Structure 1
Amino acid sequence: MKYVISAYSWKGAMWVVSANVLNGVPLGALLRPLKAVEKINGLDKAREKDKESKINFCGDISTMFDFDLLKSPTFLIYGLSCFFCMLGFYIPFTFIPDLAEEIGVTSQKGAWLISIIGILNTVTRVAAAWLADRSWADPTKINGVVLTLCGIARLFVPKYS
Structure 2
Amino acid sequence: MTLEQQLIEKKYYEMFINEHVEIHPIHVLGDAYQEELQKDMPDLSFIRFAQGEVYFQNKDYEAAIFKWENITNELEPWAKKNIADAYYESGLLSNAEDFYLSIETDQLILNTEVNLQLFSLYIERGKLDAAIAVIKSTIISNPDYPNVTKIARSFFENQQDWAMPLNWR
Q: Larger relative contact order (C-alpha < 8 A, sep ≥ 6)?
A: 2
Q: TM-score range by the shorter chain?
A: under 0.3
* Structure with the higher strand share, 1 or 2: 1
Structure with max Cα Rg: 1
Tell me the TM-score normalised to structure 1 length. Answer: 0.28
